Amino acid sequence: MSARTNHADQSAPKSTRALAFGLAALFMLVPANMLPVLSSKLPGEVRTDTIYSGTVHLVQTGLWPIALIVFVASIMVPFLKLGGLLWLLWAVRRGTRHPVRMTKVFRLIDEIGRWSMLDVFLVAFLAGAVEFGGLASVEPRLGILAFAAAVVLTMLATHAFNPRLLWERPDSARSA
């Protein structure tokens, strides 16, 4: 058995939890992006929106800066975080020659995690604030629960990942 294979076998159990949480988060992003996240009833208009259709509606109504924030925070960031985490796990599995760079990637993913619940808070805020108006209503839908689950699972995956694994060398490099 080669030293690289031996190293991969040793690091796999250490990163299994992060991989499991990451795959579960990826699985939850499917319904989060396919199911409606909220329904709104305004005078003369009833809407049920997914994350994407809500973003498109914001652009169509001239609120493109908010649409950009929602698109980045709700669609781009979750997939980039999971892609980055999978990249880190792959680097641990095969052994990386760039532990400093990969540690910076981990820190970025961890830092972004602080803003992950932005959409969930936005829907909760809208639901509460609009109810006070009396003329309109906003109700959360199943998609926001799936999105919240994906966010929590992504955060768990990030916290389950041990960045020290990036600094471990394959056995052949230690003996050289």
**Measured between alpha carbons, how far is 19 from 132 in angstroms, rounded to an integer?**
43
- In this predicted structure, what is the pLDDT of residue 46? 87
- In this predicted structure, what is the pLDDT of residue 172? 43
Question: 3-state SS of the chain: helix, strand, coil percent to 5?
Answer: 75, 10, 15
- pLDDT for 48 beyond 80: yes
**Measuring CA to CA, which residue among 2, 16, 159, 175 is closest to residue 93?**
16
CATH number of 3-161: 1.20.140
Question: What's the burial of 27, exposed, middle or buried (CB within 10 Å: 0-12/13-18/19+)?
Answer: middle
CB 147 within 8 A of CB 37: yes
**Measured between alpha carbons, how far is 127 from 53 in angstroms, rounded to an integer?**
18
For 124-161, write each residue's pLDDT tens digit. 666 666 555 567 777 889 999 999 999 999 999 999 99
- In this predicted structure, what is the pLDDT of residue 130? 58
**Residue 38 φ/ψ, nearest 5 degrees:** -160, 155
For 73-85, write each residue's pLDDT tens digit. 888 989 999 999 9
For 84-138, write each residue's pLDDT tens digit. 999 999 998 888 888 899 999 999 998 887 777 776 776 666 666 655 556 777 7
**Residue 49 φ/ψ, nearest 5 degrees:** -125, 145
What token pair was written down for 122? 């936005």
Neighbours of 175 (CB within 10 A): 8
pTM here is 0.78
CB 25 within 8 A of CB 153: yes
Confidence tier at 8 by pLDDT (50, 70, 90) = very low
- Per-residue pLDDT, averaged over 20-47, amounts to 91
